Amino acid sequence: MHILALHLGHDSQVALYDDFERLYIAKEERFNRIKCYNSKGELPRLSFNQLGHRFDLTKVEAVVMTRTFLPRRYYRYFPLRKRVSEGLKSIIGRQRTHYDLISRMRKYQKPESELLNLPLMREEFGIPLDSRFFFSNHHYCHALPALFFKPHWDNALIYTADGGGDYDHYGLYHFYNSCWRTLFGGDAHIFDRSHSEGRHSLGQMYSIITEIAGFKRMRHEGKITGLAAYGKPTVYEALRSQYYIRPDGVVRSHFADYNSLEHFLRELSKKCPIEDLAASGQRVLEDVLAESVQTSQKLHPFCNLGLSGGVFSNVRLNQVLSELPGIEDVFIVPPMTDEGLVIGAVMDVVIQERGFDYFLNHRRELGHLYWGDEFPPEESWLDERFEVVARDEIIPAAVKLLQDEKVCALFTRGMEYGPRALGARSILISPVDRNINDTINKRLSRTEFMPFAPVVRLERAAEVFEVTGANLAAMQYMTITCRVRSEWADKIPAVIHIDGTARPQTIRREDNPLYYDILWEYEKATGLPCLVNTSFNAHEEPIIRTPQEALTALQQNRVDYVIFDRFIVGTRNQV
């Protein structure tokens, strides 16, 4: 069954699947170059058009969407009074162009199919008139991949947390003995006009602190994780006292509403330096969610923990949870933010159509995330500004450049899906100089507080880092921190955090031979098993997608060289 999946909100994306087989998936920001792009209910046109060029959309049998803002033209249920009101607003230029789908459902107490002009949507999407529409719950979409990609789990808690979706901020699900139970979340409150969970949301708490620190919400929360290491949790007690765990394990707060949460944090920020507020918020996040998981564990014993939603992009939090007693394995969905929703939405449709046993029987390991378009290297990309400095035997040449502390960008395979660069669109640097962090951030116009991440061959990971059964799977996708073994801390200072941890990526040769071979030959030449891996992008830009974008970054002196599969390129003034 061909399923078109769309998320038309924050982190807009489109996907096409044949049951569980991925045919195409893309995030709009990688095409329009607007980071964290929100299409506000409109089709993400560039990524969608690319899909239309590659696949016949007349074969689509089902469409699944998340419930976001949608254009007014898609709605068909407007009472006469509302139409008159909208007409008056249009005269004075105040007509709203987009409406929140759940708000409309609550207002008129009608399901999506009765509110929306589905024939018009089919026409605009270019799909068959008999294709069926599905609308999936936000947190359920986050949760399903956490179980699907762990085929050997038979006893797990799946925990979702984010800034909000479908007017909820958490989802708790228990999987045991082939049975899935929703402990908290779902669509029970979908028509409840009074239901809003913002005041209880740790994700919203963290985002408000992000804004207080002068950064952008829903974009720069990672900076707060790094900033927290430079502060002391001086207002921890005041903030922690506002949160409690219900007997069923669900996080709750004493705030009257969302505005009181924001007011409390802004008043708290006047009592301490911003790094202390960051440290306090980080510790509250860790402690409250750890207590929530442990409470759930007493009620529904489990040994495996699946995590998804934007809150779990916090790598320090994930480490804390992985170290809780009784946790044997932790898996964080790599596209844990809203860009992963289309994956879970497809799974939701397949479950509805084929049954949950079908879902369980088709579970598989995730493998690599090089899901983007591939660009076989061609020297025709180059013009007079560029010079090929190595051909064919590029591994030794790349290692020599890295030994000389040159900044080398790697462009190979399909672009990674998700927020992390994992060796297809990565910048590689020697890890021996801690000051390289400041140098690279300046060249990339970044403001970062956290050292760069290391990449290590899977075979050597346990020698350098404190690898456990609980954190090993997460390391493949750079979604967790862990302690660095003392004998290595002074040898790779560029990737060590203040607290002695790092955020490693493990790599297998079968996933990315070029990446792996450069790392291995560098290790042979230097004795160092790690390289710095940071994403190939400038500040406020999405990760590089095309070779032309990579060469532009080279020309702008963001990097010294770009390593393609068959040659290495520099600018003519370098060689």
Position 439 scores a pLDDT of 84
Give the whole-angstrom CA distance, residue 226 versus residue 497.
Answer: 9
How far, in Å, CA of 520 to CA of 530, rounded? 9
**Which pLDDT band, with edges at 50, 70 and 90, does 441 fall under?**
confident
In angstroms, rounded to a whole number, what is the distance separating the alpha carbons of residues 381 and 174?
51
Q: What is the mean pLDDT of residues 388-392?
A: 92
* pLDDT-based confidence at residue 83 (cuts at 50, 70, 90): low
User: What is the SS3 assignment for 264-304?
Assistant: HHHHHHCCCCHHHHHHHHHHHHHHHHHHHHHHHHHHCCCCE
By DSSP bridging, strand 386-391 and strand 329-332 are unpaired
Which residues make Cβ contacts (< 8 Å) with residue 33, sequence separation at least 6? 541, 542
Angle at 518 between CA 515 and CA 519, to 5 degrees: 85
Tell me, what amino acid is at 231?
A: G
56-69: pLDDT as tens digits: 999 999 999 999 99
pLDDT at 436 over 60: yes
Helices (H), 300-450: 315-322, 341-354, 356-361, 394-403, 436-443
What band does 89 get if pLDDT is binned at 50, 70 and 90?
A: low
**Of the candidates 423, 419, 440, which has an alpha carbon nearest to the alpha carbon of residue 431?**
440
Whether the per-residue pLDDT at 78 is higher than 90: the answer is: no
Average the pLDDT over 101-120 and give the result.
95
Query: Any idea which of 89-93, 334-338, 459-463 has the lowest mean pLDDT?
Result: 89-93
3-class DSSP state of 356: helix
3-state class (DSSP) for residue 237: helix
Name the DSSP letter for residue 380.
Answer: G
Rounded average pLDDT over 301-319: 98
290: left (phi over 0), alpha (psi -120 to 50) or beta: alpha
Look-up: residue for tokens 């030959």? 521
pLDDT of residue 390: 96
CA distance 347 to 337: 17
Higher pLDDT, 126 or 443: 126
Task: Quote the distance between the C-alpha of residue 282 and its chain's center.
Answer: 19
Q: Pairing state of beta strands 179-184 and 168-176?
A: antiparallel
pLDDT at 196: 80
Average pLDDT of the chain to the nearest whole number = 94
3-state secondary structure 88-147: HHHHCCCCCCEEEHHHHHHHHCCCHHHHECHHHHHHHHCCCCCCEEEEECHHHHHHHHHH
Q: pLDDT per residue over 37-55, tens digit each?
A: 999 999 999 999 999 999 9
Residue range 467-485: average pLDDT? 97
Write the pLDDT tens digit of every residue in 188-240: 889 988 888 899 999 999 999 999 999 999 889 999 999 999 999 999 999 99
Nearest to 102 by CA among 16, 182, 164: 164
Check pLDDT > 60 for residue 86.
no
